[in-house]
Amino acid sequence: MKLVATYKISGSEYKITINGDEPEVYEKLDKALESICQKFGDLVEEFKVSEVSEEIRLGKIIVPIATNGILHASDIKFSNDEKMDFVIKTVFGTIIGLSIGNLIDSVASKENKIIDVKNPCEKRKVDVSHLITEWSD
């Protein structure tokens, strides 16, 4: 089981990925929230947890598309000037190559939301005395 915990502090979002079997993964999640609350306290604005139900490696999808793009780009004439055409194709190929390099190890995931809590670290102080009807006059 893989859980993704997202928490927001001062408008910035942070993510933690927790892997494990079902009873143990929830214990790890509880410890993660406890650590976050100890460190940041009431600054934590929200806490969301999602279960990852499916992951797709983008490299398997992107490589064939980019390869075809590079092959077809070599057929296109960008400029009548041969030197300018060469420069444009080189820049275009470099951009595609850098994009592939960044995306090849990326993963897209489908997540199902489990928990969405606002102010998870806020300590609620309950005044019990007004709940006891015998004490009210």
55 or 130, higher pLDDT? 55
46 or 129, higher pLDDT? 46
pLDDT at 65: 63
Dig out the tokens for 134 from the structure. 């015998």
Residue count (the chain): 137
Once rounded to an integer, what is the mean pLDDT over residues 104-118? 78
List pLDDT tens digits, range 29-38. 889 988 998 9
Q: How far apart are CA 100 and CA 104, in angstroms?
A: 6
Label residue 41 left, alpha or beta by phi (over 0 means left) and psi (-120 to 50 means alpha): left
Query: Is the pLDDT confidence value at 99 over 80?
Result: no
How high is the mean pLDDT of the chain?
Answer: 77
List pLDDT tens digits, range 66-79. 666 665 666 677 77
Residues forming a β-bridge with 13: 8
Query: Is the pLDDT confidence value at 101 over 70?
Result: no
